[in-house]
Every structure is written in structure tokens, then in C-alpha cells.
């Protein structure tokens, strides 16, 4: 299984945060989300946000064109190529495609990684608030 998925499953199983430290989204939908292993593999069921599903050829082309429109911004992110490859590969391994939400997540992580590298930061924990809202990648 993918090492990213393995580490996420470990976090899910440990559940280190109390309810007071959990977002309202996860308080509402967390009990409906399934992320577990069994003998046949990984079982994922999302609730409260977009679900993963295979992308058709037309969707893949449209998403590629959409990502290209952000090239002036993503070309400035040093870590973006490496992070985008990992995000894209993970989406494929989860039987999905590199849709816009996968792209947005890769961009947000790239901005953070570049910032951490520039200021020689090594965070162990961070809170990401509002990263997927309106104004994404505005200059």
C-alpha cells in the first residue's frame, strides 16, 4: 500500500485530537467517513466533501488545461513539481485522477514547503485554515 495512505491510516487509528480541537466539518461528518484496511485492501468512504472516482478522458483534458492556466503561479513554487508528482500518483493509486482539488492541495502544500525551506523551519504540527476557499492562488 502507498506509504502516504499507511501514515494517514495510522493517524486515523490513533485519533490524537480531542473533539474540542476538531473542526466543525469533522465533528459533523467524521463518524460517516470510513478509512480502514481489511484482507482485500483499503476501504474508503467519504462524507461531506468530494469523493474519489475515476476520471474520463474529457475530464482529464479539461483538468490539464485548467492546471496550465495556473502555470505563471506554479512555476514560481520550487517544490511544486515534486509535490505535484506525488499528489498525482497518490490520486491514481486511489483510483481517481488529478482533479482540481488534488491540484489545489498540491499547490497549498508547495507554498508551505517553500516557506518552510526559505525560513529553515521544521514544523511538527500546523493548522491549515481556509486554504481551499475563494481567492485560491490570487496574487
Structural domain including 133 reads: 54-139
Shared domain check, 31 and 91: no
Alpha helices in the chain (DSSP H): 3-14, 24-29, 57-69, 71-74, 80-93, 100-118
**Residue with more model confidence, 53 or 106:** 106
Whether 89 and 34 map to the same domain: the answer is no
In angstroms, the CA 127 to CA 90 distance is 22
- Whole-number average pLDDT of the chain: 82
Beta bridge partners of 35: 44
Q: In the predicted model, is pLDDT for residue 62 greater than 90?
A: yes
Confidence of residue 4 (pLDDT cuts 50, 70, 90): confident
136, pLDDT greater than 60 = no
Q: How many domains does the chain have?
A: 2
pTM of the complete model: 0.66
Tell me, what's the pLDDT at 86? 95
Residues 28 and 69 in one domain: no
Amino acid at each position: 500500500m502507498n506509504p502516504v495512505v499507511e501514515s494517514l491510516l495510522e493517524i486515523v487509528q490513533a485519533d490524537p485530537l480531542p473533539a474540542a480541537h476538531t473542526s466543525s466539518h469533522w465533528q459533523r461528518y467524521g463518524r460517516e467517513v470510513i478509512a480502514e484496511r481489511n484482507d482485500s485492501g483499503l476501504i474508503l468512504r467519504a462524507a461531506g466533501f468530494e469523493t474519489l472516482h475515476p476520471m474520463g478522458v474529457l475530464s482529464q483534458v479539461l483538468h490539464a488545461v485548467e492546471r496550465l492556466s495556473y502555470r505563471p503561479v506554479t512555476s514560481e513554487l520550487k517544490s511544486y513539481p515534486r509535490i505535484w508528482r506525488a499528489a498525482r500518483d497518490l490520486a491514481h493509486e486511489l483510483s481517481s485522477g488529478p482533479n482540481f482539488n488534488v491540484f489545489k492541495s498540491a499547490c497549498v502544500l508547495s507554498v508551505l514547503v517553500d516557506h518552510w525551506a526559505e525560513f529553515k523551519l521544521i514544523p511538527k504540527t500546523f493548522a491549515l485554515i481556509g486554504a481551499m476557499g475563494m481567492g485560491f492562488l490570487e496574487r
